[in-house]
Amino acid sequence: MKEIRLSTGRRTELIDITGRVQDAVAAGGASSGLCVVYVPHTTAGVTINEGADPAVRLDIAAQLDRLVPWDNDYGHLEGNAAAHIKATLTGSSVVIMIEKGRPVLGTWQSVYFCEFDGPRSRRVAIRIFPAPAPDNPAT
């Protein structure tokens, strides 16, 4: 397992971690298999979405803030219920296929760490699961 560390600067932000995921896949040495990216925090998440236009991640963050406003009539006493809800909406993990030693992402896709209760120091765990060798390799 590889762990990456992040320091976030705002309450809500999406940070592109695609390059770090690609580095972890390359270091894992699997030519094919699966890569799991997992966020072990209850007020942060991970998602895959467009990476070509930086406005997309700003739009996603802004719409999540509108959908789940920070100030509302929440029962959670710690005061960060909105962050917990947003983390539930994005999810805590993504699974990415590996082929030819690289993550299989679409042309426009990037992997984003999603901060909803920042600024904070955060961790992301990345685990590579190599595909099993075929029983009957081609000759």
Segment 27-80, tens digit of pLDDT: 999 999 999 999 999 999 999 999 999 999 999 999 999 999 999 999 998 889
Token pair in block for residue 64: 């999540």
Q: What pLDDT score was predicted for residue 16?
A: 97
Token pair in block for residue 26: 């390359």
Q: What is the rounded CA–CA span in Å between residue 85 and residue 82?
A: 5
* Residue among 52, 39, 46, 53 at smallest CA distance from 14: 46
- The answer on pLDDT for 94 being more than 70 is yes
pLDDT tens profile 125-137: 999 999 987 766 6
Token pair in block for residue 101: 């030693």
- pTM (two decimals): 0.93
For residues 37 and 97, is the Cβ–Cβ distance under 8 A? no
**What is residue 114's three-state secondary structure?**
strand
Residue ranges of domains in the chain, CATH in brackets: 2-130 (2.60.120.460)
